[in-house]
Amino acid sequence: MAETRYINGIQQALLEEMADDSTIRVMGEDVTFGGPFGATKGLVEAYGESRVINTPISEATIVGMAVGAAITGLRPVLEIMFVDFITLGMDQLVNHAAKLHYMTGGQLEVPLTIRATCGVGGGYGAHHSQSLEAWFSHVPGLKVVAPYTPADAKALLKSSIRDNNTVLFLEHRGLYWTRGEELAEHEQVALGEAVVRRAGKDITILGVSKMVGTALKAAEQLAEHGIEAEVIDPRTLAPLDLDTIVSSVKRTGHLVIAHEAVETGGIGAEIAARVQEAAFNELAAPVMRVGAPFSPVPTSIALEKEFVPGPEQVIEAVRRSIAYNRVA
Amino acid sequence: MLPKLSGEQVLEQLRLAIVIRRFEEELIKLAGSRDIGHFHVYIGQEMTGVPALYLLERGDLSFTTHRNHGHLLARGVPASQMYAEILGKETGMMGGRGGTLHLCSMEHGFPTTSSAVGGATPLATGAAFGFQRLGQDRVSVCLFGDGALEEGSWHESINIAAMEKLPVIYLCENNSLEALGQKAGEYPSSTLAAVDLIDLVTPFGVPTIQIDGCDAGAVHAAMGEALHRARSGGGATFIEARTVRWPGNRPIWPELSTGETNFAMAWDSSLVPTEYREWHAEQDAVLRFIREILAEGLIEPEAILAMDAEVSAEMKEAVEFALASNYPPAAAAMEKVLA
């Protein structure tokens, strides 16, 4: 199977979906130039400026504008350059996009995909590096997607665009140039389906977005010491595929959740709570979380390294889980 | 000034204005006997909403704000369904999921009410963008009060509308002026440094029209001009319709401080009470509209009273319908979260 990069998976999904559906409009700041990382490169050449639209630097309005356009029958794919900037558009996202279907008693649908770069890397600092998936997952009416592989980036972006809800599509900047197998022709991935990236019997490690890679690295090192970890990539955080996670945990009896967002109030807390409700008796230890410390993202490359949890922290959590003595 | 329409159409507008007035009065009375939550009434602004929205066509969309009842009624949304929605009953337009603050009826061109002040401007701008890019000959209308101009998204929206020449009409109902304590020619807006609201629009190059929102003819002419511009590819228009704030809107909870409207005051000044004399004699836009209609001889006073009696009975029936309707079943709370 041929290989491709994550960013090309996104670009391919946009090119292909726009060919299939004339109502799709790609909008955002600098999208005709390809955006800061080139995800929308080639779109304007292929589909022209009537379908690929540069917007002003007005996040509060362009989110709402995309919602209004979606109501009239367009299927907008809005790029928010860095997820940190979506804070300016939260009224339109949380109060309008997420609630319109409900508040109107089903009279409206908002088929809108919002792509946003997230995550730490390259010394971008506190305004360009956050992971805010827990905020979005907290809002009823939104779907939240965080792909890890190039094939998933393509398949899940296609599914997000075809979905009739507002989908937050979170792309980790550190994954853009990673390589992986191309998506097979006609292969689809539905929203809300987790995947087991590595099978194992001793412990379950769930990684979010780029942390799937960290979890896989940790699993390799653990295997050298006779611990076989199962690694789960949830792919979609809302709705969450709890069944896949719980069935793994029921077999291994241990769960470590790793994400790059700050640990406090992160999506890991929610997943941990749901797993312990569903599999308390099968758990041999408390669910362990690995996340960033409770601080803004630092800019210095040296501090960044400290901020983002690596395989060592995941391994440490695994060891704590396995060593845990449960009092009967 | 009366709208330049047939006598029949002018009388149709009168009926709609009376519907709005009686709807709101009944609602305030209803709120006196039970807790129906907070709501905002459109009394005093009828002659902006009715003639402005009268000119819309099927498929045009209006995005409205918390003072929305009059807008929906002006486009023919049944009062019974509106009362039911406001009371949270399953027979409401949205099955009780939205209430007064989120009233909508796509059938009548109202996708939503945004009760976050200024929340509708990006939506209306986006709908205009959609119409334009889909090649549809439709217009998007954004209805808001002067307070929305204090929100940043309004300035962002009009920038985009100007740059893209979008078929959108921003209709600002400036009701910032209290009926009491008004000085001649004074229209200050609540918390804005700008004294003249249209000054905010000028830098964007969007045409502006400033009118007396109690003058039905002026509203009709302004909307006619704005709709023509929007439909002919000329882009956006900003209209400031200046209305006087009804005294009953002064408290946080609306009160029938001026009483239930006696439309006969329009032709019999002896009926005008001393209290709120200025309101009844000069500022009430519906009474003014009736005086203009009578001056043109379009209808006899008795026929207006008959029309009012009919409307009043309809409103009472609509309230009864809503009161008799069921609340939605508990399971409905979890339905339609996702499409």
- Examine the fold and report which residue of A150, A181, A212 is the final residue of a domain before the chain moves on: A181
**A74 contacts chain B (CB < 8 A):** yes
| One domain, residues A173 and A258 | no
**Which pLDDT tens digit goes with each residue over A139-198?**
999 999 999 999 999 999 999 999 999 999 999 999 999 999 999 999 999 999 999 999
Measured between CA atoms, how close is A156 to chain B, in angstroms?
18
Q: In this predicted structure, what is the pLDDT of residue B182?
A: 47
| One domain, residues A74 and A153 | yes
With bands split at pLDDT 50, 70 and 90, how would you rate the model's confidence at B175? confident
Measured between CA atoms, how close is A146 to chain B, in angstroms?
19
Is B339 within 8 Å of A103 when comparing Cβ atoms?
A: no
- Tell me, what amino acid is at A280? F
Average pLDDT score over residue span B28-51: 94
- Tell me, what amino acid is at B289? F
| Residues near B331 by beta carbon (within 8 Å), at least 6 away in sequence | none
Residues of A whose CB is below 8 A from B152: 60
Predicted-complex ipTM score: 0.93
Report yes or no: A266 and A309 within 8 Å, Cβ to Cβ: no
- Tell me, what amino acid is at A252? T
CA–CA distance, B212 with B216 (Å, rounded to integer): 8
CA A296 to chain centre: 20
- Total beta-carbon pairs less than 8 A apart between chain A and chain B: 152
Residue A215 belongs to some domain of the structure:
yes
Catalytic residues of A: 59, 128
What the block records as the tokens of A274 is 């749901």
CA–CA distance, A48 with A29 (Å, rounded to integer): 16
**B330 contacts chain A (CB < 8 A):** no
**B333 contacts chain A (CB < 8 A):** no
| One domain, residues A172 and A242 | no
Residues of A whose CB is below 8 A from B104: 103-104, 107-108
Please report, for the domain that includes residue A174, its CATH number: 3.40.50.970
| One domain, residues A134 and A215 | no
**A66 contacts chain B (CB < 8 A):** yes
Q: Pseudo-torsion of CA B163, B48, B140, B81, nearest 10°?
A: 150
Report yes or no: A6 and A150 within 8 Å, Cβ to Cβ: yes
Residue A190 belongs to some domain of the structure:
no
Question: Quick check: B217 pLDDT over 80?
Answer: yes
Please report, for the domain that includes residue A219, its CATH number: 3.40.50.920
Report yes or no: A76 and A70 within 8 Å, Cβ to Cβ: yes
Residue B315, φ and ψ in degrees, nearest 5: -65, -40
Question: Quick check: A327 pLDDT over 80?
Answer: no
- Tell me, what amino acid is at B116? A
3-state secondary structure of B281: helix
Average pLDDT score over residue span A82-93: 97
Average pLDDT score over residue span B31-47: 92
CA–CA distance, A322 with A68 (Å, rounded to integer): 51
**Which pLDDT tens digit goes with each residue over B67-125?**
999 999 999 999 999 999 999 999 999 999 999 999 999 999 999 999 998 999 999 99
With bands split at pLDDT 50, 70 and 90, how would you rate the model's confidence at B205? very high
Least confident of A88-97, B98-107, B168-177: B168-177
| One domain, residues A151 and A25 | yes
| One domain, residues A244 and A166 | no
| One domain, residues A124 and A251 | no
Residue A327 belongs to some domain of the structure:
no
| Residues near B163 by beta carbon (within 8 Å), at least 6 away in sequence | A56
Which long-range contacts does A294-298 make (Cβ < 8 Å, 24+ apart)? A294/A262, A294/A263, A294/A264, A295/A262, A296/A126, A297/A120, A297/A124, A297/A125, A297/A126, A297/A129, A297/A130, A298/A125, A298/A126
Chain B contact probe: residue of A25, A65, A108, A139 with most B CBs at under 10 A:
A65
Residue A116 belongs to some domain of the structure:
yes
| One domain, residues A138 and A221 | no
**Which pLDDT tens digit goes with each residue over B308-333?**
999 999 999 999 999 999 999 999 99
| One domain, residues A171 and A212 | no
Average pLDDT score over residue span B194-198: 86
- Examine the fold and report which residue of A140, A155, A181 is the final residue of a domain before the chain moves on: A181
Average pLDDT score over residue span A67-77: 98
| One domain, residues A105 and A9 | yes
Q: In this predicted structure, what is the pLDDT of residue A23?
A: 98
Residue A328 belongs to some domain of the structure:
no
Percent of chain B topping pLDDT 70: 96
Q: What angle do the packed helices B46-54 and B7-33 form, to 10 degrees?
A: 130
Domain count, chain A: 2
Q: In this predicted structure, what is the pLDDT of residue B178?
A: 60
Average pLDDT score over residue span A58-75: 97
DSSP per-residue codes, A216-268: HHHHHHHHHTT--EEEEE-SEEETT-HHHHHHHHHHHS-EEEEEEEESTT-HH
**Which pLDDT tens digit goes with each residue over A226-262?**
999 999 999 999 999 999 999 999 999 999 999 999 9
Q: What is the CATH number of domain B7-323?
A: 3.40.50.970
Q: In this predicted structure, what is the pLDDT of residue A118?
A: 98
Question: Quick check: B189 pLDDT over 70?
Answer: no
| One domain, residues A15 and A132 | yes
Q: Domain span at residue A129?
A: 3-181
Is B102 within 8 Å of A68 when comparing Cβ atoms?
A: no
| One domain, residues A240 and A270 | yes
- Examine the fold and report which residue of A181, A205, A227 is the final residue of a domain before the chain moves on: A181
CA–CA distance, B220 with B60 (Å, rounded to integer): 17
Measured between CA atoms, how close is A261 to chain B, in angstroms?
26
Of the candidates A321, A319, A310, the one whose C-alpha atom is nearest the C-alpha of residue A283 is: A321
Q: In this predicted structure, what is the pLDDT of residue B6?
A: 98
**Which pLDDT tens digit goes with each residue over B117-171?**
899 999 999 999 999 999 999 999 999 999 899 999 999 999 999 999 999 999 9
Residue A186 belongs to some domain of the structure:
no
